[in-house]
Amino acid sequence: MGEPLSGPLPWWRDRRVLPWLVQGAVALVVLLLIAFLLGNLVRNLSAAGMLLSYRWLQQPAGFDISETLLPFDAGLPYWRALVAGLVNTLRAVLVGLVGATALGTVVGLASFSPNALLRGLARSYVELIRNIPLLLQLVFWYFVVFLALPNGEAALQLPGVVLAKSGLFLAWFGEGLRWSGPTLVDGVWRAPLRLTVEFSALVTGLVVYTGAFISEVVRGGITAVPKGQWEAAASLGLGPLVTLRRVVLPQALRVIVPGLNTQYISLAKNSALAVAVGYTDLYSVAETTLNQTGRAVEVILILLGAYLVIDLVISALMGWLNRLVRIRER
Amino acid sequence: MAPMRKLLSAASLLAALALVGCASEEGGLQSQKLATLKGRGKLICGVDGKLPGFSFVAPDGQYTGLDVDVCKAVAAATLGDPSKVDYRDLNSSERFAALASGEVDLLSRNTTVTLSRDAAGGNGLNFAPPVFYDGQGVMVPVASGIKALKDLAGKPICVETGTTTELNLADRMRELKAAYTPLKFQTGDQTYAAYLQGRCVAVTSDRSQLAGKRTNFPDPAAHTLLPEVLSKEPLAPATVNADPAWSDAVRWIVYALMQAEELGITQANIDAKLAEAKAKTNLADLRRFLGVEGEFGKQLGLAPDFVAKAVKAVGNYGEIFERNVGTGSKLKLERGLNRQWQQGGLIYSPPFR
């Protein structure tokens, strides 16, 4: 035991005060920077006589949107157009997430296959897709694959699915909830469920691209489970599939979920490349709106806000999933 | 107190001098942009770059076209050399930001003059006189059998985003009560690729643009323009509002090309005309126009002979039109509205005086 310190500690060496001071200073600098940038924006906009205003959102949009889930026409206001674009974005993102997860999981598992051909295919897919820019891939899917499809009789026909230049026709519950497939009427395909080639090209591009990254996340997660777990399960007499499902995957998920979150978010953001393949997503509508109204700052702020909210929602859901799969201490 | 009063009177004297100085200075408000240009020795001109007849990179790597010739005329008039231009290819949604941020000095990119683009509360641009009076048209394959706009009901139509074309198309189709599917693309390349691949039954844009793009199609004769003109599209070079002196200079360089045609001054005879103006003191109009006398150049902040330099570089307006888009060119467009006013067209230069 040494001599106790005599006298009170000076405040600038007090560990209870110091962190607060440093953090306060950093926060002040950040706030000042934000205030400066905002002030700059407002000053320049008022100098140009264009202070932020969102009144134009109520004016009629005057342009049409090719495919919408909500009814839309040119007479409806701009905000309705933006909402229709947002719904289109969400539709592509949701389908893309499901597809990319399924593809990524299958490919990730395939890279552990005892079959060398399957393993090789999985590895080549990942290496090929990861190293080509997404924009190029989207343009490839749209112009080289989907737009090269024939129409009418010559269209690509599979059971329940018809691939034609005029769209992707799927079997679904049609009139009277009867399951019905695509039919050819006067040289034009009809089906209960029709996806446009633009939507199909975008989703295919996003699924194939993000699937490659997700398969690596899955592979990493499975590799992180010690080999001993496989061996222990085998020695208990469990088959490989049961081992995977009951022993390995529950442990691997803890590693996989945070990585998936990143991939999901990047898929949501990448969906803004839709305009390259003629799909009218939020970005595409916003671009037209910006051009017609000249309200660049306001439109960009709406875009930033919308993508931020989409990504935060994905993060929150994945955080919830992460808590669900974490090790429960008993 | 006394020194203070002295200081005040000195200051007021200085202010008065400055006022007198301003009034007697012929240059008037000096253009910041012109000074920048001269310092840099280059004009940065925003063009489309992919539109035959207007701005297109020829096989030898040189930019050619009507819009490009406007850039060259401005470079010749301001810097004395038509080759001192850096071209920037801009798509239709980048163009105004590039101009507003000062990335380009001049936008010569088949841009339609509209109220919202001109207004200070809109895009805040300044437009030079239109160099091409155009209108929105619709192109269809001849084989499709489509003869009029109303035949397009229920069909997909390819549109390039970021233009007034979407709005015009929606307006006309609403008038006709015809539903249709607009397929929007960000660049012209994608728009025309989708059209050629057969995704759309029609593609809509300015008629001049359609005629220009058609020259690059595998089989130009297989595509035809519908008779309907959907809109008025006066295409004009643009500058920013912030520098009125620069905008004036560009405006009068463009007028000079039109006036030169009216006076019969061509690229071939400009030297002879200049010699004639110098020799004959009675040709006052011509002498002022070509800068032999008077101060037109100086008032705009340009060289006295800026008109002669511009015409020598690219020829008069009629020559520019014929060379790039006229009946002798690949585009084979009639002069139509783009004739001189004496021939019933809209090309009309205010007097140079």
State percent of chain B over pLDDT 70: 91
For residue B124, the chain A residues in CB contact (below 8 A) are: 48
In this predicted structure, what is the pLDDT of residue B25? 40
The reported pLDDT for the residue numbered A6 is 67
- Between strands A193-195 and B233-235, the pairing is unpaired
Q: Is the pLDDT of residue B157 over 90?
A: yes
Residue B2's pLDDT is what? 47
Q: What share of chain A is helix, strand, coil (3-state, %, to 5)?
A: 65, 10, 25
- Residues of chain A neighbouring B167 (CB-CB closer than 8 A): 62-63, 292
Please name the residue of chain A whose CA is at the shortest distance from the CA of residue B194: A143
pLDDT of res. B259: 96
Nearest to A147 among B163, B166, B197 (CB): B197
Which residues of B are less than 8 Å from A66 in CB distance? Answer: 156, 181-184
Selecting from A48, A74, A287 the residue whose C-beta is nearest the C-beta of B170 gives A74
Lowest-confidence region among A37-51, A229-243, B107-121, B320-334: A37-51
- Classify burial at A112, counting beta carbons within 10 Å of its beta carbon; exposed 0-12, middle 13-18, buried 19 or more: middle
More confident residue, B236 or B154: B236
Is the minimum CB–CB distance between B165 and chain A shorter than 8 Å? no
Looking at A8-22, A68-82, B337-351, which range is the least confident one?
Answer: A8-22
Question: At CB < 8 A and 24+ separation, what contacts does A44-48 make?
Answer: A45/A297, A48/B120, A48/B124
Q: Residue B287 — pLDDT band, cuts 50, 70, 90? A: very high
B85-115 confidence digits (pLDDT tens): 999 999 877 888 889 888 999 999 989 898 8
- What average pLDDT does the structure give for chain A? 89
CA distances B327 to A63, B323, B331, Å, are 35, 9, 7
Q: Which residues of A touch B (CB under 8 A)?
A: 48-50, 62-67, 74-75, 139, 143, 147-148, 151, 165, 197-198, 275-276, 278, 280, 284, 287-288, 290-294, 296
- Mean pLDDT (whole number) for A177-197: 84
Q: How many CB pairs under 8 A join A and B?
A: 87
Give the domain ranges of chain A: 11-47, 78-325
Percentage of residues in chain A having pLDDT higher than 70 = 96
Q: Which residues of A touch B164 (CB under 8 A)?
A: 292
Report whether pLDDT(A294) > 80.
no
Say what the pLDDT of residue B328 is.
86
Residues on chain A touching B186 (C-beta within 8 angstroms)? 275-276, 284, 287
Residue A250 has pLDDT above 60, yes or no: yes
B161 touches chain A (CB under 8 A): yes
The model's pLDDT over B11-30, given as tens digits with 9 standing for 90+, comes to 554 444 444 444 434 444 57
Residue B269 neighbours by CB distance under 10 Å: 12
Looking at residue B227, what is its pLDDT?
85
In chain A the beta strands, taken as DSSP E runs, fall at: 156-158, 161-164, 167-170, 172-173, 179-180, 183-185, 188-190, 193-195
Query: B200-224 b/e with 16+ CB inside 10 Å = b?
Result: bbbbbbbbbbbbbbbeeeeeeeebb
**pLDDT at residue B40 is higher than 60:** yes
Q: Which residue of A has its CA nearest to B167?
A: A63
Q: Which of A113-127, A270-284, B1-15 has the lowest mean pLDDT?
A: B1-15
- Here the ipTM equals 0.75
The single-letter DSSP state of residue A4 is: P
Which position has the token pair 């004739």?
B339
The average pLDDT across B248-263 equals 96
Residue B330 tokens read as 């690949």
Beta-sheet pairing, B106-107 with B43-47: parallel
Q: Given this structure, which CATH class describes domain A78-325? A: mainly alpha
Tell me the whole-structure pTM to 2 decimals.
0.72
For A1-14, what is the mean pLDDT? Answer: 70
Q: How much is the pLDDT for A298?
A: 87
Specify the range with the lowest mean pLDDT, choosing from A8-12, A148-152, B249-253: A8-12
Adjacent-strand bridge partners of A329: none
Yes or no: say if A199 and A67 are a contact pair by the CB < 8 Å rule.
Answer: yes
Condensed to tens digits (0 to 9), the pLDDT of residues A83-107 reads 999 999 999 999 999 999 999 999 9
Predicted local confidence at residue B139, as pLDDT: 94
User: What pLDDT does residue B23 have?
Assistant: 40
Per-residue pLDDT averaged across A212-219, rounded? 96
Is the pLDDT at A2 greater than 60? The verdict is no
Sign for the CA dihedral angle at B305, B309, B312, B316 comes to negative
Domains along chain B with CATH numbers: 32-133+235-343 (3.40.190.10), 136-231 (3.40.190.10)
Region A13-32 average pLDDT: 89
B60-83 per-position pLDDT tens digit = 889 999 999 999 999 999 999 999
CA distance A46 to A55: 16
Q: Which of A69-73, A142-146, A155-159 has the highest mean pLDDT?
A: A142-146
Name the minimum distance, in Å, from the CA of A14 to any CA of chain B: 50
Hey, what are B151's tokens?
């035949």
Residue that wins the pLDDT comparison between B44 and A181: B44
Q: Does residue A62 have a pLDDT over 90?
A: no
Contacts A284 to B, Cβ<8 Å: 161, 184, 186
| B163 — pLDDT class (breaks 50, 70, 90) | low
